[in-house]
Amino acid sequence: MKIEQNRVGTDDVPVDTTRRALLKAGGGLVIGFTWLAGSKAMAFAKPIPQPGDAAMARADGSPAFAPNAFVRIGSDGSIRLVMPEVEMGQGAYTGQATLLGEELGVDLDQITLEHAPPSEELYALEIQGSQNTGGSNTIRGCWDLLRQAGAVARSMLVGAAAKRWGVPADQCRVERGVVHHDASRRTLTFGQVAGDASHQPVPDKPALLSAKTFRLIGRSLRRIDTPPKTDGSATFGIDVRVPGMKVAAVAMSPVVGGKVAHLDDRKARAIDGVVDVVVLDDVVAVTAGDYWTAHKAVAALQIRWDSGTGAKISSDALFAELAEASRTGTARTGKEIGAGTKAGGKTVEAVYESPMLAHATMEPQNAVIWVKPGSCEIWVGTQVPTRVVAAAAAATGLPPEQILVHNHYIGGGFGRRLEVDSVAQAVAIAKRVSYPIKLVWSREQDLARDFFRPPYHDHLVATLDSKGYPATWRHRVTSDTVLDRWSPADMPKDGVDPDALDGAAEPPYSIPALKVEWVRHDLPKAVKIGWWRGVGATHNLFPVESFIDELAHAAGQDPLAYRRALLAQNPRARGVLDLAATKFGWDKSLDKVDGLRIGRGVALGTSMGTLICAILEVGVTAQGEVRLRRAVAVADCGQVVNPNTVEAQLQGGLVFGLSAALWGEATLKAGAIEQGNFHDYRVLRMHETPRIEAYTVPSTESPTGIGEPPTAISAPALANAVFAATGVRIRKLPIARADLAAGAAARGQVVI
């Protein structure tokens, strides 16, 4: 497998930014493509030629064989995959190459990867409706698409070889890019028949290989992006340099929504190496030859900010307003089954709160922009290339076809790079200077100007039947809506945001009477909200699975046995639960450890089409510190394409979710985000991470999502384990050390 690194962009190499030169330069991670306007008929799972694909192939240098938007084969036998999904650490490169290589009859070392150009027409996946990488959709969205693309190409290549030999195509086979006719011992390489193959008829329904014949799918293959990330040759957006480039650092209002009221930039301009000071409505930028000079100059700016109404915003006020909206707002029903009459048994009621969460990616926001007369060139790592084009076109006034985007590795996305605010800001700065700029936000600015997962208020009430099981269940979610902000056209006509109820409206358990409703409560416009890894389920599984535990406790039953009884009509979910219990050894007694209260917790749910179960063992000190001891995660995610990747995602997702449950909270005080870096927006350190065992249920079903489900299941499993250890029920995240210490004191333990 080869990922071509375009060396255009180093200080000692001149840059030819013509469209043909960029395409010829090699493309890989930073290949440039122009926007192709035209039909919006999506390619989706149709790898046959679509409107616009021929034009894209011409722009790509007219390779000898380009049967669809994804496959490019040259007369020299070179094979390129134009990937619809980008790499941000989730294994997207390896997964997409595996799907194509399986059906095309080649191995990963024979494929060169390129990012797809911005084109909704050709590269929008049906499952998400636009060209973006998110929602754990890479494998499940490409499962049919790229396999069909490979099968189409294989069929046409074999057909060309068979025609040349005068033999039936079904007597030929493909191995490592070579067509074989075993009876006559003749062979032809893909390169030798590429030209002829382009004239073969395109099959409408290409025959896909059966799972029994898979060579690549299901094997633990090495990730192809590991070597360049290990040896430092991988180019992330923040690594880009182009000749003549200056680096821009910015000052932004400490209060959300603040504007520049007055500026004295004399001290900043006096610093050696400063080139320009650019003033926008809400930001002041300094450009210099390097970041640290620009950063030092920003610190020397004397700015008076107009905070506007933003200074009145606080987290306490936001949660108070959510609680009031839950009591008095208009509730829209998302799901209702059963009569809803009380069973006459015990009533259990609880309120849960989930905080705003930041993405806190390792790579802060950045972009390199070069605005010239008649064009705008962008180097960036983005999950949404077409939105980058649209943002740049809006900022420059240029038509989309004059915007050139080079996409790169992303140093962590988690939904943050579904936004294009930093690109728009960089373009606005670059418009005012005559040279290319690299905008880099500091870590503190990245946290302060995030598009946060919104806060939530959940009110749950259940009545139990004579056996202690829920006869009625009512769940009211109160929140803002990310969907209506990010894609208003996708908001259902009934006004119910499906994301707000994801993981709540369809619990896996049998409950006779269930009602799940949503109260919309818009946050102040200055508070930007966005998708966060796990999206709706990452919020809803916490109250749902915690409340199931509360019901089990109220019924005096073991929480795992309680769930198992409620899954009598859902054998697939029960199978996941049982496998997790077996691997964990739920029936075995827990070891006692001096100084620790030991407990274990279980949580089960569905996220991104995947059934996911996590069981955690924790120890809690008398001071309220949580020690993560062991974790078992089981996923039923359909056909596993690469077991290595799935295991890594289960492990990484748990670490991400556990970090958020323990420390994740972005708080506003007087309109400013209080957290600034990883010292006060904590993530698990290596020595704090538990031993994680990851398992999957064998399946031949189509793949479902895997990157986000473990994040969504982490918080309830942890909260339930903490309750088992301490008797303190966690209804508000992140987990408060003081509450656990108070619980220890109530049990007569000494708290230091």
**Per-residue pLDDT averaged across 241-254, rounded?**
97
Selected residue with higher pLDDT from 41 and 309: 309
Residues 610 and 695: their CA atoms lie apart, in Å, by: 13
60 compared with 563, residue with greater pLDDT = 563
For 558-574, what is the mean pLDDT?
98
Q: What does the pLDDT average to over 635-646?
A: 97
218 φ, ψ (degrees, to nearest 5): 95, -10
- Residue 732 DSSP symbol: B
Interatomic CA distance for residues 515 and 461, integer angstroms: 10
Question: Residue 749's pLDDT is what?
Answer: 56
Residue 454, amino acid: P
Residue range 549-569: average pLDDT?
Answer: 98
* Tokens linked to 316: 């306490």
CA torsion 515-356-534-557 (nearest 10°) is -50
pLDDT tens figures, 28-44: 222 222 333 333 333 33
Amino acid at 272: D
Q: What is the mean pLDDT of residues 251-278?
A: 97
Calculate the average pLDDT of the chain. 91
pLDDT value at residue 341: 56
pLDDT, tens digit (0-9, with 9 covering 90-100), for 412-458:
999 999 999 999 999 999 999 999 999 999 999 999 999 999 999 99
Q: How confident is the model at residue 47 (pLDDT cuts 50, 70, 90)?
A: confident
Q: What domains sit in the chain, N to C, each tagged with a CATH number?
A: 2-221 (3.30.365.10), 237-308+365-440 (3.30.365.10), 456-746 (3.30.365.10)
Q: Which of 323, 603, 570, 338 is nearest to 473 (CA)?
A: 338
Interval 6-19 mean pLDDT: 34
Three-state helix/strand/coil letters over 56-119: HHHHCCCCCECCCCCEEECCCCCEEEEECCCCCCCCHHHHHHHHHHHHHCCCHHHEEEEECCCC
Query: Angle 450-490-394 (CA atoms, 0-180°, nearest 5)?
Result: 55
Q: How confident is the model at residue 54 (pLDDT cuts 50, 70, 90)?
A: confident
Buried b (16+ CB within 10 A) or exposed e, 372-397: eeebbbbbbbbbbbbbbbbbbbebbe
Question: In this structure, are residues 315 and 667 in contact, taking their beta carbons and an 8 Å threshold?
Answer: yes
List, as one string, the DSSP characters of 217-279.
TTS-PPPTTHHHHHHT---BGGG---TT-EEEEEEE-SSTT-EEEEEE-HHHHTSTTEEEEEE
Residue type at 50? Q
Cis-peptide, bond into residue 734, ω within 30° of zero: yes
Confidence bin at 51 (pLDDT 50/70/90): confident
Q: What is the mean pLDDT of residues 129-139?
A: 94
Token reading at 66: 């380009």
* Predicted confidence band of residue 98 (pLDDT cuts 50, 70, 90): very high
Q: 541 has which bridge partners?
A: none
What pLDDT sits at residue 58? 82
% of residues, the chain, pLDDT over 70: 92
Q: Which of 147, 150, 116, 113 is nearest to 133 (CA)?
A: 116
- The crossing angle, in degrees rounded to 10, of helices 643-663 and 709-726 is 50
**So what's the pLDDT on residue 21?**
34
Quote the radius of gyration of the chain (alpha carbons, Å): 28
pLDDT of the residue at 45:
53
Which range has the worst mean pLDDT, 197-206, 525-534, 631-640? Answer: 197-206
User: pLDDT of 473-501, one tens digit each?
Assistant: 999 999 999 999 999 999 999 999 999 99
pLDDT band at 400 (very low <50, low <70, confident <90, very high): very high
Indicate the residue type of 721. Answer: A
Quote the tokens at residue 38.
């035209």
What per-residue confidence (pLDDT) applies to 342? Answer: 54
Is the model more confident about 142 or about 12?
Answer: 142
The mean pLDDT value for 126-154 works out to: 94
Contacts of 226 (CB under 8 A, 6+ apart): none
Quick one: average pLDDT of 641-647? Answer: 97
pLDDT higher than threshold 60 for residue 751? no
If DSSP states are collapsed to H, E and C, what string results for 12-23? CCCCCCCHHHHH
Helix pair angle (421-430, 385-396), 10° resolution: 40
Going along 480-625, which residue ranges are E strands?
513-520, 597-607, 610-620
| Range from 36-45, 89-98, 106-115, 367-376 carrying the lowest mean pLDDT | 36-45
Whether residue 673 is predicted with pLDDT greater than 90 in this model: the reply is yes
Residue 710 dihedral angles phi and psi, to the nearest 5°: -65, -30
